[in-house]
Amino acid sequence: MEITRDVILDLMPLYVAGEVSEDTRRLVEAFLEKDKGLANLAESTAAANLKDVPINFSKEQAMEAFEKANKMRVIRTLGLAAIIATTLLALLLIVPLIYMFVF
């Protein structure tokens, strides 16, 4: 099977991030030796690596996000419980009325 440029392009993000196996790394590097344009793309992508971008996300922000998600989950659960309770109450009130008028 022939390795095409599209296959190497698919592997490029993993290769640049260093997340490929040794065999895949050798395969990509062998292809890059033949295709200088793609080699330049790999170098420029590695130079603009996202690991160099600082991420301002503290533990406090993570806890705030967790608490907000947890609060939304509780609200959703209580809302669903209220809908179910209202439906059951309505059925309990309507069914006896139906029996009164039909029978």
- The radius of gyration of the chain from alpha carbons, rounded to an integer in Å, stands at 30
Mean pLDDT, residues 62-85: 97
Question: Are 44 and 63 in the same domain?
Answer: no
Residue-wise pLDDT tens digits, 28-63: 999 999 989 888 888 888 777 655 555 677 889 889
Give pLDDT, residue 101: 81
Distances (CA, A) of 55 to 13, 17, 50, 61, 64: 20, 17, 10, 12, 16
Give pLDDT, residue 43: 85
Give pLDDT, residue 50: 57
Question: Are 62 and 83 in the same domain?
Answer: yes
Task: Please name the residues in contact with 38: beta carbons below 8 A apart, sequence gap of 6 or more.
Answer: 5, 8, 9, 12, 31, 32
Give pLDDT, residue 44: 83
> What are the helix (H) ranges across 18-58?
22-34, 36-47
Check whether 15 has a pLDDT greater than 70: yes
Q: Identify the domain containing residue 11 by its residue range.
A: 5-51
Which is higher by pLDDT, 69 or 18?
69
How many structural domains does the chain have?
2
Model pTM? 0.47
Q: How many residues in total does the chain contain? A: 103
